[in-house]
Amino acid sequence: MHLVKIKRKYSAAYSLVEIMVAVFITSIISIAVVSLYTTGLRTFFQITETSKQSDESIVLFTMIEKDLSRGGFTHPIRSHVDYCGTKIKFSDAIKIDENVTHDLLGGTVLLTVSSCFDKPTTIAYGDNDIERFKVTYAQGTGQKENILFKKIERTDDCNTLIVSNDKLSDNAKAIIHDWLPVSTNVKSFIPTISEKKPDIVDIEMKLQSQRNPDLMLNFIKRVFVKNQSIYVTSEECEETCPNSIKPFINYQISDNHAFWPLGTNVPGGLIFFQTGYDEKTDELIFPPSPLNPTPIDDELKSDFGPGYKIGPGTGEEYQTLLSSVKYVYKDLVEEPSTKNIALFLYSDTCDFDLTKFYYSQEGLRIYCRKDDGGSITWNASKKEAEDMKYYKLDGKLLSINDVDEKNFIDTTVFRDAWIGWIGGKKTDDVWKWTGEGDVLIEESFVDSIKVFPVDTPGADYLWYSRPSKSGDAEFNASVEDHPMEKYIIEFYAPHGSQFTCQKKNSGGCVNYYSSTTIEIEELNLCHIYN
């Protein structure tokens, strides 16, 4: 009999505690995985939505800038004498209207911004081929407050709309439309027109995701309306013979409106014929203006033609006047001369009556007689002169470069008895002009300046004298600390003058002088030569 051994196999069993711990750990891992997935998904959608908003803002601002920047554009064909009276007023070129009501907008919106401009048809040969449109943007209200709308309308005067089909061209019908949505993610849309310069529009816009309202991005865009002031581009022609021209139509008084805004005051100015004036043929016509240009009684310079003095006003008033003044050629002669019409602006740096200017081949020079109100030495007057600026020009004590300039100073700058420091200084027994690099007086011109001999030691500093109103000018010398009450400043264009327009030198942005050459043969003359 055989005995059989039976081995009993024992299985390991998990206790309840072990099972609960395992479940707990598994739950923690599951929660962590789900949390990471949710966070990652939320971050992914946040990045995606933010990226969409950024891309959308670029598209929106590009479209808005394109529409608003054309505000005030009047097609050149309208300036022809046959199509007068169709200008765009600068107040309509770019415009903000308040409390506009329309069902498509959801009710009454706080404001809209619009631009009005000309747009040619495919072939533009006449006034009928130029059509005027008004483009308007607005944010909806109520249930549509997250929508930005756009509307394009046909108009002739920027206010009266053309809606009748029989008055709309096929071109206009393809362009115009009522309020249509251009974005559904707009939280706020705020346009603002600059008070100091109405051809700058700031657009502040906040985009908000409709999928996640907590995701918002703020944007701001500055839109410049045209490349020139809308005061210029919105001028209309006059029903006169077209043998005329606006000599300052492209003139801009300031190179930078942020540094020198158009609200800045201009103390005065001159418009005059620099060369070529003929009283039988030439005339300047001024539009009604608060500046009220008046004829100048005395001569500006012996070889200049007549001129007009302009009173004080803002840069905006000057810009409007100058872009409208017109030169008219009244008659014809066999060989009409070329005209040069110039503009000159006064500065607070000098008194009007004591400011004179001289134009030579080297350019424009401005002279200013200064009365210090007390005693001043030569070195002190030199420093004061060099610290002064006349808009873009730098100052120095007077130097005289040729006989013509000397005669101009003798006859124009000083018409009465006068004594004052000028920029001559003796160095090593040689007289030199100081400033702009020292120049020998003897090399400037021969026998034109003779300094009266002075035996006083140290009398190495030059002053100008006219003993009486009818007397001849004289050049004398004194010691540096000799007391004088007056001195003469000369303003000249510095090297690197293109860098003068700066925030700390706002006057350097002002175009104080402009000259326009007019070739009579190039005008669209009404008459024919005999």
Identify whether 13 is part of a domain: no
Q: Do 323 and 291 reside in the same domain of the chain?
A: yes
State which of 224, 258, 289 marks the end of a domain. Answer: 224
* Averaged pLDDT, 250-269: 89
pLDDT at 9 over 70: no
Q: Give me 87's structure tokens.
A: 């200008």
Domain termination residue (choose one: 224, 256, 274): 224
pLDDT above 90 for 373:
no
**DSSP state letter for 119:** E
| Residue 11 resides in a domain | no
105 CA to centre of own chain: 36
**pLDDT for the residue numbered 50:** 57
Domain-located, residue 12: no
Domain stop point among 176, 193, 224 = 224
User: Rounded to whole angstroms, how far apart are CA atoms 302 and 515?
Assistant: 18
Q: Are residues 357 and 393 in the same domain?
A: yes
Instruction: Tell me, yes or no, whether 140 and 273 share the same domain.
Output: no
Q: Same structural domain for residues 279 and 360? A: yes
CATH of residue 278's domain is 3.10.100.10
> Per-residue pLDDT averaged across 78-92, rounded?
66
- The closest of 246, 228, 229, 237 to 341, measured between CA atoms, is 246
Residue 430 has pLDDT above 50, yes or no: yes
Question: Comparing 275 with 35, which gets the higher pLDDT?
Answer: 275
Same domain, 78 and 136: yes
Spatial contact of 515 and 342, defined as CB atoms under 8 Å apart: yes
pLDDT value for 447: 47
Map 457-500 to HEC letters.
Answer: CCCCEEEEEECCCCCCCEEEEECCCCCEEEEEEEEECCCCHHHC
Give domain status of residue 526, yes or no. no
Residue 291: the pLDDT is: 86
- Cα–Cα dist 254/514, whole Å: 12
Tokens at 90, concatenated: 């600068």
Task: Tell me the per-residue pLDDT of 343-352, one tens digit each, with 9 for 90 and over.
Answer: 999 998 888 7
pTM (two decimals): 0.58
| 487 shares a domain with 396 | yes
In this structure, are 219 and 340 located in the same domain? no
Q: Which residues contact 487 (CB under 8 A, 6 or more apart)?
A: 370, 372, 376, 381, 384, 385, 397, 420, 421, 422
Same-domain status, 185 and 248: no
Domain count along the chain:
2
Q: Is the domain of 178 the same as that of 294?
A: no
pLDDT at res. 101: 92
57: number of Cβ within 10 Å: 19
Confidence of residue 74 (pLDDT cuts 50, 70, 90): confident
pLDDT value at residue 47: 46
* Domain assignment of residue 262, yes or no: yes
Question: Which domain range does residue 460 map to?
Answer: 244-516
Whether 88 is in a domain gets the answer yes
* 151 belongs to a structural domain: yes
Do 61 and 189 sit in the same domain of this protein? yes
The answer to whether 310 and 321 have CB atoms below 8 angstroms apart is: yes
> Does the pLDDT at position 504 exceed 50?
yes
pLDDT of residue 301: 61
- If asked whether residues 121 and 217 sit together in one domain, one would say yes
Residue 135: inside a domain: yes
